[in-house]
Homo-oligomer: A and B are copies of this chain.
Amino acid sequence: MKNLAAHAAQNLAALREKRPLIHNITNYVVMNYTANALLAMGASPVMAHSPDEVEDMVVLANALVINIGTLSGTWVGAMIAAGKKASELGKPIILDPVGSGATAYRTQSSKKIIQETTLSVIRGNASEILSLMDKDAKTKGVDSGCSVTDAADAAKQIARQFNTTVAITGQTDFVTDGERVFSISNGHSMMANITGTGCTATAIIGAFLAVDSDPARAAATALAFFGLAGEVAAQKASAPGSYMIALLDALYTITPNQLEIGSKIGN
């Protein structure tokens, strides 16, 4: 069995070879950056949210990314319709429950999507993941008010309950399918100073899901790749504007070999 760093390299090479089509139903804030990140790394992004076409687009796509960052009624309906179609076709789906726990509407919408679709991965910060538990008395606020460690037990429980993989990102990232646990220590503190880093992580996992049939491994290797890009960007830029540009550049320039050497994935 290959180690995870070798799998990361293999996934990145496969992605650039296959150029999978990633269907994103995501938020207005990050649409441009997400599309550019997917293109830079070697995937092919498409954004489509109309109830009149989401199911047709899912048929063409290799993976579906659902992100509730600027949700509203029609969009949540389209997310569920697309998610059901992808579930039916056995295509990988990743959910980013942005701000779940901050408003009741976000928590309820996230839970509804989880119940009505077959998700490969759920990625959030610790606070968002905790909010998905049945009893989440302590989670409030948009920013993550709790550590990755706090949320790890919740993540395992959610992964088992919904037969999915949960990825919690933070200073150290944490991925579990309810049995296995991976921790990824790639990344850089500057990533928190630009908008949509979490959303980009989700989209990149979505792309890796299109080339790796093991969702937990796809998530862990994708987070190592994105974290390494964050490290490479920090060598070029020390303020957020130039950093967000350097980060896109790094997604393009990092080779599978560099990723294998730079990955920091532990069990």
- A-side residues, CB < 8 A to B, are 21, 27-33, 35-36, 39-40, 44-53, 56-57, 60, 69-74, 99, 102-106, 140-143, 193-196, 239-242, 244-250, 252-253
Contacts and interface: CB of A to CB of B under 8 A. Distances in A.
A51 B33 CA distance: 26
B193 A252 contact: yes
A99 B27 CA distance: 20
Nearest to A245: B241
A166 to B, nearest CB: 23
Tell me how many chains of this kind the complex includes: 3
A73 to B, nearest CB: 7
Given A28-B47, A35-B196, A60-B103, 19 more contacts: A28-B31, A29-B31, A29-B32, A30-B32, A31-B70, A32-B32, A36-B241, A39-B193, A40-B239, A46-B142, A48-B103, A49-B70, A50-B70, A53-B103, A56-B105, A60-B140, A239-B249, A240-B252, A242-B246
Contact of A70 (B47, B239, B246): B47
Nearest to A57: B103
